[in-house]
């Protein structure tokens, strides 16, 4: 899974990733969506703690 995310974050097209890994594009997209959803859910919990950068600027 991390391998797919690394390839995607490197700018490689999802179709190319799927072809190289001998899988279909839908599986690749599902892995990427799951990671985006996971990270999106983590953002609110991080913002409650406050950002050290915001505190320094204030």
pLDDT of residue 55: 43
Segment 28-49, tens digit of pLDDT: 999 999 999 988 887 765 555 5
Q: CB of 7 within 8 A of CB of 31?
A: no
Q: CB of 46 within 8 A of CB of 38?
A: no
Task: Return the structure tokens found at 17.
Answer: 């990733």
pLDDT of residue 53: 47
Where is average pLDDT lowest: 1-5, 16-20, 29-33? 1-5
Task: Give the domain ranges of the chain.
Answer: 2-44
């Amino acid at each position: 899974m991390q391998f797919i995310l690394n390839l995607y974050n490197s700018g490689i097209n999802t179709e190319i990733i799927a072809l190289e890994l001998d899988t279909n594009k839908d599986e690749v997209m599902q892995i990427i969506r799951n990671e985006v959803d996971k990270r999106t859910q983590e953002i609110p919990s991080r913002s409650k703690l406050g950002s050290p950068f915001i505190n320094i600027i204030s």
